[in-house]
Amino acid sequence: MRVHVLGAAAGGGFPQWNCNCGNCARLRAGLLKGRPRTQSSICVQGLPGPDWALVNASPDILSQVRATPALQPNRGQRDSGIAAVLLSDGQIDHTTGLLMLRESTRPLPLWCTDPVYEDLTRGHPILGVLGHFCGVERRAVPLDGRTFTIEGVPGLQVAALPLASKAPPYSPHREHPVPGDNIGLVLTDTASGRSLFYAPGLGERSEAVEAAMRAADCVLVDGTFWTDDEMIALGLSHKTGRSIGHLPQSGRGGMLEWLAELPQATRKVLIHVNNTNPILDEDSPQRAELVARGVEVAWDGMDIEL
């Protein structure tokens, strides 16, 4: 199984277009040791071949395809290496890219949960808009632990776990979450049995998610904020990380504490990193702490093979 990171940043990317925080300003000026990143998305395949499952369609999908030859047309005048799209939630930064795929020559196979489908047909009716172009063929993601496969992507098995997190601001479930607003995905190579747990939006611990993370060979999980009050301290928001559905890395009960409990052989990678997070500075003490703990930070173009 191969997982390719198309984008590793949180909403807005890095640097964010309208942000003059220390990280963004120094990156633009060439004074920060770090990489630019587009908004979070991955693609995955089980067996080597021409087609991939796109997991989340970010607003940056067109530049991500341009940077990824495997997703570009090579079998005809109109073609793509994207066999299907799988959504972990209905957030803007994970769904806007669907509009950029409207020139598809066939309806897009779209895997999502019932609550996400509701959000994308009511609160943010992007699927209705796509109906005037290529359209979608929606497949329901089961939440009862059943595994499923994606047509055109052989050798890959998928299972979804509901996460405690936040639905989008336009969702009727925003303040009253329901299972399926946000999911983690267990991606398994059917030949080797090796697996990766993917959860870019992870707000709280749960027994089911802990078990999935312990069983996985690699975890690719929420790296949005270093501290819970990061945006407040910088004067950029009045909301904590946890209040918008993201578990911070540091502090009691944070992501680093959780990752430290996993088996030593588990590969640990953070994704969906906000532009304010000091771990984007490769010379920062926070990044040094990650290195000491054996935790990686995803970057655009990173490959994970299992």
Q: At residue 100, what are phi and psi to the nearest 5 degrees? A: -75, -15
What is the pTM for the complete model shown? Answer: 0.96
Contact 110, 84 (CB under 8 A): yes
pLDDT tens-digit map of 73-127: 988 889 999 999 999 999 999 999 999 999 999 999 999 999 999 999 999 999 9
pLDDT tens-digit map of 272-297: 999 999 999 999 999 999 999 999 99
Residue reference for tokens 């069983």: 215
Residue 211 has pLDDT above 90, yes or no: yes
**CA–CA distance, 243 with 230 (Å, rounded to integer):** 12
Residue 175 has pLDDT above 90, yes or no: no
Per-residue pLDDT, 271 = 98
H helix or E strand, kind and range, residue 258: helix 255-259
Per-residue pLDDT, 203 = 87
pLDDT grade, residue 42 (50/70/90)? very high
pLDDT grade, residue 164 (50/70/90)? confident
Q: Radius of gyration over alpha carbons of the chain, in Å?
A: 18
Q: Which residue has the higher pLDDT, 231 or 198?
A: 198
Instruction: Look at residues 54, 20, 26, 24 and name the one whose alpha carbon lies nearest to residue 40.
Output: 54
Residue reference for tokens 């570009």: 72
**CA–CA distance, 281 with 27 (Å, rounded to integer):** 9
pLDDT tens-digit map of 124-141: 999 999 999 999 999 999
Q: How many CB atoms lie within 10 A of CB 102?
A: 13
Burial label for 69, CB within 10 Å (0-12, 13-18, 19+), is exposed
Residue 154 has pLDDT above 90, yes or no: yes
Contact 241, 230 (CB under 8 A): yes
Full strand arrangement of the beta sheet holding 82-86: 136-140, 108-112, 82-86, 52-55, 41-45, 2-7, 303-305
User: What percent of the chain clears pLDDT 90, i.e. is strictly above it?
Assistant: 89
User: What percent of the chain clears pLDDT 70, i.e. is strictly above it?
Assistant: 100
Per-residue pLDDT, 132 = 97
Interval 236-246 mean pLDDT: 89
**What is the DSSP secondary structure assignment for residue 71, as one 8-state letter?**
G
Instruction: Look at residues 181, 54, 39 and name the one whose alpha carbon lies nearest to residue 119.
Output: 181
Q: What mean pLDDT is reported for the chain?
A: 95
Contact 185, 88 (CB under 8 A): yes
**CA–CA distance, 281 with 264 (Å, rounded to integer):** 26
Per-residue pLDDT, 58 = 97
Contact 181, 269 (CB under 8 A): no
Specify the length of the chain in residues. 306
pLDDT grade, residue 230 (50/70/90)? very high
**CA–CA distance, 54 with 57 (Å, rounded to integer):** 7
Residue 172 has pLDDT above 90, yes or no: no
